[in-house]
Structures are given as structure tokens and as C-alpha cells.
Structure 1
Amino acid sequence: MRRRDLLAGLAGAGVIAGGVAVGCPHAVGSSSNGSVEDERAGDERDGTNDRTTVPTTRIETFDAPGSEAGHEEVPKRGSPTVLEFFATTCEVCAGYMETLRAVESDVDATFVSITVEVVDVTVERETVVDWWREHDGTWTVGVDDDLILSTALDAASVPFTAVLDGSNAVVYAGVGAVAEHDLRDAIDRA
């Protein structure tokens, strides 16, 4: 099922309010207190690891500061990746950009922000690009039309952040604006 069809159906059912999907309070690897440490850390005795891994997915990217129009494969194996899901109608997402900018500017990780909006249906791509400029984004921004990444991460509301290690295993995943020190800690663990 295409992203457009799914979200159009959800919007019609009243599940999407103000461009932000209403969903589960906890996500991949989250615990009941909202911390997002992956609790499925594997068995140290035999070296196995059952952490959730995220498939490399081709997303459409936009011509915006730090981003080029086209397509990109994300996440890339070999280094930590921060995936952040947002909506232009989400005020928390707008405020969270300050934290993301501060961390992105001085860590060794790839940042990718992905709008959850249905581009060219519920929001124009120019609106996403204008929002990106207004909030000083400086890394890749795009859309996951087929919902592969958001489904793999159970990213049901925004903002949603996932930190992946070099093998694309989830180290951290959760809903809401993450405190700067917590985001840095997650990247350090990746």
C-alpha cells in the first residue's frame, strides 16, 4: 500500500490531527518509563544480538539547505545515523530543531529528517522546504513515501527520533523532543 493511500484513509478516519499522527507513546526499544534504550540487547554469552535493525530505504530528498533534490539510500551502514521524523504543523518539531542543530554540528553521525506529511497532497514540497529554511535545517531532509522507515521504527507520532549504529541497529528510539545530552549519549553508544 502506498503512503498516500494509507494516510488519506487515516486522515479520513480522523486519526491525523493538525498534520501530526496520534499514536503510541512508546516505540522500538522503549521502556515503560519512556526511556528509549533498546532492551533487546542480545545474549553476551554467545555474542548474538537481537536489536531491531532498520532496512536501507530509498527516500526522496528535497532541494533545501544541507540537502539536494533527488533520492538517497538511508540509513547508510558504517557510521551512526540519526533519523528524525517531523511535520511542518508540529510546534514541538519546530522547537526541537534547535537541539538537533546543536548536536548535528559537532558529532560524527549522519542526520536525516523525514516529513511524515503526504507531500503534494496534504502539504506542498515548497512548504516543507520553506519550513526547513525557517528552522535552519542544515542536513538531508526528505520523505519516506512508502512508510518503510516509519513502519520499521513504529514511528507513530512526531517528533520521533531514532539513533542507529553502524550496522543500522536501533540504539535509541522514541517520541518527543529528546534532551540534548540524551541525544548525544545515544550517538556515543552508537
Structure 2
Amino acid sequence: MNRREFVAAAASVGVLGTGAAVATDRIDLREPSDTATVEPIEIETLDGPGSTAGSMAVPEHGRVTLVSVFATWCRICEDSMPALGQVYDGYGDDVRFLSVSNEAIGGTVTRDDIVDWWERHDGRWPVGVDTDLALTAEFDVGTVPTTLVLGADNEVAWRSTGEKTVEELHSGIHGALGNP
């Protein structure tokens, strides 16, 4: 193989690797969706660790909120729980956390199934269900997991899909809090 063929092959591998990373959501090239203020959406919350049955408005004006949309069948959602838990533990009341399943309740999954999954994966902040898919539609959630950080002004400050590291989650929250 001559030098020109080697350079062409190396460039092709780079392009293919970047394409695969984008396709599998390991790199998120999207900017936060438009900066219009989001009107609060009522999410049904479930009774489980760190969560009480009732409802929660998302977002809450004046407070930074992290929303994680997940599904109980999703392995990447399961793998994401330790990092989310570590970040949750680090922010206390400074940042509001909510994880939301957008699965169809009553078909193959019940509210109890979601609470069981939540307990098994060490969830300890509010968990809810998006039964009417209002949150899913508002934030154009097309894949799970999708993580959103909403600023105190009710605008999407950060959005990403796929499994996130503690550092990535901190970065998204810090931007919304106005920290470097």
C-alpha cells in the first residue's frame, strides 16, 4: 500500500467512525432546540424510592431541572442509572431531578413494573410516567435515554441522548447554572 492509499484509508476510517458515533448517539452534534420558553407539563409521579405518587410540573420556573427519559426495557437506560445517581447525590436541592418513562402503561408494562425497575436500579429521586406523551412531544424525544437540562428560565440548556458519564452530566448542569 502506498502513502496515498494509506491516507485515503485512514480518512475513510475516521469518517466511518464519526458517523457510527453520531448514529449511536456517542457524539451529539445537535444544539439545544430553540430557546423558546417551555410551558410546564404535568407528569404523573409514582410512589417509590425518592418519589411520591402525585404529579410534578416540568419545568419549574426559577429552578434548574434535569429530566431523564427512559424505558424499562432499555439496557443503556439501566447502565445510565449509576452516573445519574452520583450526580443527583452531588447536587442536593440545587437541581431538581426527574426520570420519566414514556412507555405505554397498561400494555406490557405497568406502573408497578416501573417502580420495581426503579428500586432494582437504585433510583432515589422522583420518577414518573408520561402517559399522554406530552413531555415526549414537547421535547421531541425520539430515543431513550434522552437527558435534558432545563434552565431556571424554562429553556432547554442542554440535551443529549445515550449513556452519559458523570462529567458529561455535570457539564450540562453547570452550563444551566451559569457555572464554567
Same fold (TM over 0.5): yes
Which amino acid in the other structure matches residue 131 of structure 2? D
Mapped contact 1:37–1:171 kept (Cα < 8 A): no
Q: CA RMSD in A?
A: 2.1
TM-score normalised by length of structure 1:
0.74
1:53, distance to aligned residue in structure 2 (A): 3.2
Alignment partner, residue 127 of structure 2: 141
Runs of at least 5 residues in structure 2 that lack an aligned partner in the other structure? 1-21
Q: Which digits, 9 at most, give the CA deviation of each residue in 1:117-141, with x for residues without a partner?
A: 1112230111100000000101110
TM-score w.r.t. the length of structure 2 is: 0.78
Q: Distance in 2 between matches of 1:182 and 1:37?
A: 15
What per-residue deviation string (whole Å, max 9, x for no partner) do you get for residues 44-71 of structure 1? xxxxxx5143321111110000100112
> Secondary structure of 2:127's match?
strand
Higher helix share: 2
Q: Is the 8 A contact 2:146 2:159 kept in 1?
A: yes
Alignment correspondent of 2:75: 91
Give the aligned length.
152
Deviations 1:138-181 (A, max 9, x none): 11101112211111111111011000100110111121012211
Question: Structure 1: which 4+ aligned runs deviate by more than 2 Å?
Answer: 24-27, 35-38, 52-55
- Structure index of larger Rg: 2
Aligned to 1:84, what secondary structure does the other structure show?
strand
Q: What's 2:142 paired with?
A: 156
Q: Percent identity?
A: 39
The answer to whether residue 103 in structure 2 is matched with residue 117 in structure 1 is yes
1:109 partner amino acid: V
